[in-house]
Amino acid sequence: MISILDIRQHAASDILDYQQVVSMLGEYSKPRDRISTMLDKGELIRVRKGLYVLGRAFCRRPVVPGQLANLIYGPSYVSLDYALGYYGLIPERIEEITSVTTGKYRIYETPFGVFTYRPLSPPRYVPGVVFGGDECDHHLIATPEKALIDKVWCDKRFKPTRMDDYGAYLFDDLRIDQQQLIGLDPSLLGTIAAAFSSRKIDILVRFIHQVSRSTA
């Protein structure tokens, strides 16, 4: 009988998809039944249909939310509030793992937390996305500059009419750290803003430049 330890030994990662698990259960005529047994015993944890994580007693390292987010729904990268918290731009620890996708809006409630995906058009998707994590858990994540621009763009509650509105939104509503804000890369901000081709984002970049000049 193939045990969960056999699967763990041959798996490159603690996160596996259905085809990977089935390929390791070649001796079973009904591998789906064996997977169901492993799920019932807690040897595997179902994240969503066709995506599993080794049971908590068998994981070799903690599950990285960003890596899981990329795999749950794609194409996608971690961004918005979760990335802003990850980089320390906002003071709160964000429990919901927020991502951006070229697909449709999605929300997944999993044993590892709630994962949400907000849509963004392809031309606005690519600039400012990098690989985070280490060699064992590479995942796509927005740079601080991209995470902020994505947040401002996707937040439909924020409807600025003048530049002064950005101060209240960034510092009072989001509670962005001002030192972190002025430390953002102006060249990268400009590149991302050009891809968005949006007055809302252009004014955001101008506001950040204004704050940087006033504190210089």
Reported as a single tens digit per residue, the pLDDT across 137-180 is 789 999 999 999 999 999 999 999 999 999 999 999 999 999 99
pTM (predicted TM-score): 0.93
Mean pLDDT is lowest, of 12-16, 78-82, 136-140, 147-151, for 136-140
Is the pLDDT confidence value at 136 over 70?
Answer: no
Give DSSP secondary structure letters for 75-91: SEEE-HHHHHHHHTSSS
pLDDT for 138: 85
pLDDT bin (cut points 50, 70, 90) of residue 2 is confident
- The DSSP bridge pattern shows strands 97-101 and 113-119 to be parallel
Nearest alpha carbon to residue 98 among 119, 120, 83:
83
Note every long-range contact of 125-134, with CB atoms under 8 Å and residues 24 or more positions apart, other chains counting: 125/75, 125/100, 126/195, 127/188, 127/191, 127/192, 127/194, 127/195, 128/188, 128/191, 128/192, 129/77, 132/66, 132/78, 133/64, 133/66, 133/67
Give the burial class of 20: count Cβ atoms within 10 A of its Cβ; 0-12 exposed, 13-18 middle, 19 or more buried: middle
For the chain, the straight-line distance linking the first and the last C-alpha, in angstroms and rounded, comes to: 68
pLDDT for 216: 67
pLDDT bin (cut points 50, 70, 90) of residue 51 is very high
pLDDT for 109: 98
Mean pLDDT is lowest, of 52-61, 78-87, 88-97, 176-185, for 88-97
pLDDT for 200: 97
pLDDT for 46: 98
pLDDT bin (cut points 50, 70, 90) of residue 135 is low
Which helix H or strand E contains 170, and what residues bound it? none
Q: In this predicted model, which residue has the larger pLDDT, 216 or 118?
A: 118
pLDDT for 32: 92
- Judge contact between 182 and 211, C-beta under 8 A: yes
d(CA 12, CA 18): 14
Is the pLDDT confidence value at 13 over 80?
Answer: yes
Mean pLDDT is lowest, of 12-16, 24-28, 123-127, 198-202, for 24-28
- Judge contact between 55 and 93, C-beta under 8 A: no
